[in-house]
Copies of this chain bind each other. A is one copy, B any other.
Amino acid sequence: MSDSTELLRMYEQMAVIRRTEKAAYDLFLAGMVKGTTHLASGHEAVAVGASAALRPDDYVFATYRGHHHAMARGASPEACLAELMQKSTGLCKAKGGSMHLTHAAGNMLGSYAIVGAHLPMAVGAAWSARLRGTEQVAVAFFGDGATNIGAFHEALNLAAVWRLPVIFVCENNLYMEYTPIAAVTAADHPAADRAPAYRMSAQIVDGNDVIAVREVVASAAQRARAGEGPTVIEAETYRHYGHSRTDPATYRPAEEVERWLKHDPIDVARARLEALGVTPDTIKDTDERASAEVAAAVAAAKAAPAADIAEAFTDVWADGGAAWRV
């Protein structure tokens, strides 16, 4: 694939993710999505760039802010929206919801809503890959806020001691929920500055540049597959919406928001496409295809049947049931 074809593919994936999340937001306002939702708009390049660097059989673990990761690993916009809309066709049969999007068919093994909890899981998946001799890599995506929780420390240490093929990708968007990460972290780069404590190498990357992300993840994956151990990547990015749907994000300085909105990952990719000579028409076609895909997904999700109440009592155990007694 030529550079521009591959980039165009990534651009389209980002465009689809962006539109899907916008649709989710609008469906919220229309009362068709309930519960809580954490949009990743602004973070698309991290998911798409990383995915482009990975093999289909590599493992991905994400957080409650994980729509982009599910879709980057192949979950359809329709299944994601159906999940949010409590439809039986939802990615997790409407039992998980926005915070737990999972697409095991794409080895995207879950979105976890307890900050940091999935980091040891990714270490375990990498350990499993080593044990099975598959050269698979495991990637954990997490927020800047997750770098202060105990599980982060335990995961990084174990990964380093066992030299496991795991990549820790921090999406540093400068904020936890409403509190700036700088106010509660004794490090400038909450992830990268901690890597030396585990004799681990770290890369800081523009998380809004899909190519840059792809490169840095590709090289970490290569090292991992070669048995050279784990890497920390800190991707600098920004969320376009508030923390969750109820958050207007007034705690962020207007100037900061503006600066980051000007550095939109989709714009960055578009500029790169243009520099590679892709025509405005081609880009427009791509945008339109993305819009059409998401519009169709919305329509299909709306038309899908509501979650099946019987599903409340399935899937606890591997036999499919929920019996706790004999």
Contact = CB atoms under 8 A, between A and B. Distances in A.
Interface stretch (A6-14, A153-161, A170-178, A312-320): A153-161
A188 to B, nearest CB: 8
A64 interface: no
Contact of A200 (B186, B196, B200): B186
A187 to B, nearest CB: 6
A251 interface: no
A193 interface: yes
Nearest to A152: B153
A185 B157 contact: yes
A161 B186 contact: yes
Copies in the complex: 2
A149 interface: yes
A105 interface: no
Nearest to A159: B186
Contacts of A156: 186
A151 interface: yes
A193 B150 CA distance: 17
A184 interface: yes
Interface string A134-163: 000000000000001111111011001100
Contacts of A276: none
Interface in A271-316: none
Nearest to A156: B186
A187 B157 CA distance: 9
Nearest to A197: B197
Contact of A160 (B186, B196, B198): B186
Residue of A150, A199, A200 contacting most chain B CB atoms (<10 Å): A150
Nearest to A186: B160
A225 interface: no
B160 A154 contact: no
Contact of A148 (B154, B186, B193, B200): B154
A73 interface: no
A199 to B, nearest CB: 5
Contacts of A187: 197-199
5 contacts: A148-B154, A150-B150, A150-B154, A152-B153, A160-B186
Given A150-B151, A187-B198, A196-B196, 11 more contacts: A149-B153, A150-B150, A150-B153, A150-B154, A152-B153, A160-B186, A161-B184, A161-B185, A186-B200, A187-B197, A197-B197
